[in-house]
Amino acid sequence: MTAQHLLLVDDEDNLRTMLVAALRHHGFEVEGVGSGTEALRALERSTPDAAVLDVMLPDIDGFEVCRRMRARGIAIPTVFLTARDAVEDRVHGLTIGGDDYLTKPFSLEELVARITAVLRRAGTVPSGQHLSCADLEMDEVAHRVTRAGEAVHLSATEFNLLRCLLRNTGRVMSKAQILDEVWRYDFNGDGGVVETYIGYLRRKLDDGHDPKLIHTIRGVGYVMRTNP
């Protein structure tokens, strides 16, 4: 499969260098630049498959870069990466054409998951993918799951539930969302089946391992991530 091309824009040199290396390790081809002006010049040279934009840049901020991209008809998936976590900033970023909004500090696993998700929604990533979180890995094509290098045997439903959580790493999924994605219907609104299968996955994936990866957010739902 041809590597996906990313444009990464962040004015923090150390962070940008680290992210470029890490994203290349995950199979992306990455061009990293440190300003909004450089980002717009890069977009004149070629159009990447997706962009990751810091908001607080030294010249043209990420919001304005996105606005100009959209004005030029460049419709590539765009993820904002920023320390600005106010609700109004998130709303503004998504309103002007951003596809996702990730606040600092963040985990690399979540960033990769967010990028993959926006690429998939844009139709540029095939459904069969290698998904991971910490030492948990899933090969969708081979239908294989490992934790710390050891094979984990899952039923078809357990596999589909785990795939749902991995595809949304870092994002809290409600029972209703999980029912819709995994079971395709709502069991008359009964979320008990989700609780049951989450229990099955925890016993197979988290028992005896650290960090714990499947977390309950009381009153909201479940999330796959490395931190509590």
Domain boundaries, the chain: 4-122, 130-224
Beta strands in the chain (DSSP E): 5-9, 29-33, 50-54, 78-82, 100-103, 130-133, 136-139, 144-147, 150-151, 214-217, 221-224
d(CA 14, CA 36): 17
The CATH code that applies to domain 130-224 is 1.10.10.10
* pLDDT of 30: 93
The CA-atom distances, in angstroms, between 174 and each of 11, 89, 203 are 35, 24, 21
d(CA 24, CA 60): 26
Domains 4-122 and 130-224 are alike in CATH topology: no
Whether 55 and 90 have beta carbons less than 8 Å apart is answered as: no
Residue ranges in the chain whose pLDDT is less than 70: 1-3, 123-129, 184-190
Residue 223: closest CA among 169, 161, 179? 169
Residues 6 or more apart in contact with residue 79 via CB below 8 angstroms: 50, 51, 52, 53, 98, 99, 100, 101, 102, 111, 114, 115, 118
Q: Which CATH superfamily is 4-122 part of?
A: Response regulator (3.40.50.2300)
Instruction: Decide: helix, strand or coil at residue 181.
Output: helix
Whether 107 and 213 have beta carbons less than 8 Å apart is answered as: no
